[in-house]
Chain A
Amino acid sequence: MRYITVLPEFIPMEEVKATVSQILPEMEIVNDLSLDKYEAEVLVATTFTKLSRKELEKFPNLKYIQIASTGYDNVDISYVKEKGIALCNIPIANKQSVAEHVIAFSLVFLKDMMFLNQEMKSGNWPMLTGSRDLEGKAFGIVGMGMIGIQLAKRLLPFNVTILYYDIRRMKEEDEAKYGLNYMELDDLIKNADIISIHLPLTDKTRGMFGEREFSMMKDGAIFINTARGEIVDIDALLKAIKTKGIKAGLDVFPEEPPDFNSEIFKMDNVIVSPHIAGVTLESQQRFLTETISNVLRYAQGLDPLYRVL
């Protein structure tokens, strides 16, 4: 069997080649797909490599594509479907990182970090602050998948009240294990001091948070989105930020990179990060390990895990 890995140029090739030669010597490592034809049956890539129809047509024997990431937006899905190629991602490597990112957003707001930091760096010693505790707050998690569970586990020691909504309610013993209170979405929105979204982008979740939902939120509540930008109506959010004092922690945007002239980037009660909640040195190591494992699984004659197509 022939394998090929396409790496972005910023990754040190020689180091990777030395490692791969000890894992799967048949694996070829390249920086681009500049040749006309490749014989490989297995293609491993990151999201940095575009795999459109044009690139994929160079692989007449392709049976399995492994993307070393959660997302696989770089792959031409229709071509993959048409050819019956197995497409796998790695959905489990960054859940801890995203959960920590959400808590970081929450604490930055609650502890008034941005204000304090700015004041001190301006030579001031502020005597008053709006700093709040996370303890005792109602934290609403919308979408209780792998990331939601990791978030709940990390929130437990803070003594927060955890509310959650998901299209599928968990078993009673699992709710008890993680200290979860199930609520319908509207009730969660009304009761939560902090809301964090952990949903996939589907036809049902697109635009799920709009004017109606933001109008139900408590004034001054914190809204965090590390899932997908399109789940939130950004204009409705902007309005809520202005009129209800909503604080927003945003890692994702409807368009990425976003229009930096947008008013959202000028608001004091907005913190942003560039779709990087799941990207840490540690999560990259986990992506690598899981990618290797899945390719080895295939090499052993087993079905690879995390098949999305």
Chain B
Amino acid sequence: MRGYDAFSQTLKDLKLLPVFGNPGTTELSALRHVEDYVLTLFDGISVGMADGFSQFYGSPSIVNLHSVPGLGNSMSFIYTAKMNRTPLIITAGQQDQRHLLMEPLLSGNLLSFVGENVKFKYELTKAEEIPSAIRKAKMIATTPPTGPVFLSIPMNLMDEEINYEKQDDISINYNTNNKEVLDYVSEIINSAKNPSIVFGWEVDFFNAFKEAEELAEKLGCAVYSEPLSHRAPFLSSSKYFAGDLMPGSTLINLKLLQNDVIIFLGGDITLYPYLPSPILKGKKVIFLGMNIQPKFGEFYNVNVKIFMRELKDKIKRKCNFAKPLDLGMTTKIANERSNMGINYVFSKIKKEFSSYTVVDEAVSSSYILRNFMGYSHNTYFTAKSGQLGWALPAGAGIAMKHNKTLAILGDGALMYSVQTLWTLKRYKIPLKIIVLKNGGYVILKSYASSYYPDMENKAFLNFDLDIEKISSSFGIESMVAGNDMDELKWLAEGEEPKLLVVNVDRSVPKLFL
């Protein structure tokens, strides 16, 4: 069997199709018999699509990049996959080994280039390694903490003859628990004066919402979500859910001021910007999870789904918290109607798209989006890295098989990966897109207003785009929402990708201390 056949057969055997990519000459040989290939018109988009696909469907996926330029174009997406803990197998073609010494066009040190952004990186040396290297890559990517891996494949290996050995698919079992840790943590909670739980993205990863809710119910205390969680961390409809922690140390400390013990389940702390308050000083902080790497406190490796199920039976009720109803929101929404304020806009989106999976890149409105759209299993995704340009391709990856997917992004964010619109059209992917048009980088303006007020009105923070025209040039139907936002119904209808522009209030919210 030739190398290219070994490559395509291994992908079939290891259930790694489709391949997301943007090939060049160095990859063509590998793709000779690949049957399921999703083309993107910018390399990074293929990584973003694979990231969304992999997270939503809970299985690793494969990406095919074009040598040094393709890898370079994809670095921010690979970094995001690392932060998202997404199991991706990223491949790139290397130049023909027989003249590497001559430093030919498109050659380079790909392993050095990908750097520390992957868990494992390897450049194949002979064609026989093709099946086993891909299998090893998949195994490492899916072993906790999960994450992207990288294979550099010299193009000449694909034409070599090998003896193909079928690869058995890997089997990963996350069902581990630790009784000692269970006893220890339950004892800490039971002897605490005022404990609190902070839930993280692994609740979604393991679909442990029922266990998390039952644990919160038993404890009776206010629970929170980790700051900037990239997946749904808890059922936001629960009366115990007191909201998302903000990513500033001072804000976290103030929120948890009264708590002596804080248990993080399947999540971690993300901070931005720097604030001088030492994080949770003098408190007992325990992190539990499988894919997290905390920076302080204590950490124990557990499967949070199993752990929570058993912890619930070992702890005593400590509080009688119930989230107060936010009746003032009705007034806020009514007040914001005339100027398309963000609360009004999301109240309308929520009505039409409540059953959708939301992919969020509305950076300056993200905290309001989360609040309105709510959390439950597989309903919320965003980039953990802070990257712009991720949501559109990730949404496309999810929408490939899930026809109720909505990407909500800012006008700035749209432009980072706008070529995704072509892929949506080409493959008839039914992603619905809402672009919140505010004419600039509002998150930067908000940051400026807190720290450098003279910069808030800088011309380079503003831009004006004709998004309807951009969308139609890719063949994607689009409309601009009026004040009643009736166009949301149009957006939800049909199985074709569509884009709705919403001209939102341009005032700058206070997002930083």
Contacts and interface: CB of A to CB of B under 8 A. Distances in A.
A18 interface: yes
A21 B281 contact: yes
A25 B281 contact: yes
Given A19-B257, A22-B257, A23-B254, A296 B277 contact: yes
Interface centre among B253, B274, B275, B276 (most CB of A within 10 A): B276
Contacts of B297: none
A297 interface: yes
Given A23-B277, A24-B276, A299-B276, A292 B257 contact: no
Contacts of B276: 24, 296, 299-300
B254 A25 contact: no
B451 A297 contact: yes
B465 interface: no
B387 interface: no
A305 interface: yes
Query: Which size bracket describes the interface of B in this complex?
Result: 10 to 19
A127 interface: no
A300 B248 CA distance: 13
Contacts of B257: 18-19, 22
A302 interface: yes
Contacts of A19: 254, 257
Interface in A1-39: 18-19, 21-25
Nearest to B273: A300
A275 B275 CA distance: 35
Interface string A73-100: 0000000000000000000000000000
Nearest to A299: B276
Contacts of B254: 19, 22-23
Contact of B250 (A21, A23, A302): A23
Interface in B424-473: 450-453
A293 interface: yes
Contacts of A296: 250, 275-277, 513
A22 B253 contact: yes
Query: Which size bracket describes the interface of A in this complex?
Result: 10 to 19
Interface string B232-272: 00000000000000000010011001000000000000000
Contacts of A302: 451-452
A300 B275 CA distance: 7
B248 to A, nearest CB: 9
B278 interface: yes
Interface in A45-81: none
Nearest to A92: B510
Interface string A271-309: 000000000000000000100110011011010010000
A196 to B, nearest CB: 22
Q: Is the interface of A mostly helix, strand, loop or mixed?
A: helix
B275 A292 contact: no
Nearest to A297: B451
A204 B452 CA distance: 31
A18 B253 CA distance: 11
B250 A292 contact: yes
Contacts of B250: 23, 292, 296
A293 B281 contact: no
Nearest to B253: A22
A104 B123 CA distance: 75
Contacts of B253: 22-23
A21 B281 CA distance: 9
Contacts of A24: 276-277
A24 B275 CA distance: 10
B158 to A, nearest CB: 54
A18 B282 CA distance: 11
A296 B453 CA distance: 16
Contacts of B278: 25
A206 B305 CA distance: 70
Nearest to B250: A23
B344 to A, nearest CB: 16
B512 to A, nearest CB: 8
Interface in B483-513: 513
A293 B251 CA distance: 10
Given A22-B253, A296-B275, A302-B452, 20 more contacts: A19-B254, A19-B257, A21-B281, A22-B254, A22-B257, A22-B277, A22-B281, A23-B250, A23-B253, A23-B277, A24-B277, A293-B450, A296-B250, A296-B276, A296-B277, A297-B450, A297-B451, A300-B275, A300-B276, A302-B451
23 contacts: A18-B257, A19-B254, A19-B257, A21-B282, A22-B254, A22-B257, A22-B277, A22-B281, A23-B253, A23-B277, A24-B276, A292-B250, A293-B513, A296-B275, A296-B277, A297-B451, A299-B276, A300-B275, A300-B276, A302-B451, A302-B452, A305-B450, A305-B453
Interface of B: 250, 253-254, 257, 274-278, 281-282, 450-453, 513
Closest 3 A/B residue pairs (Cβ): A22-B253, A293-B513, A299-B276
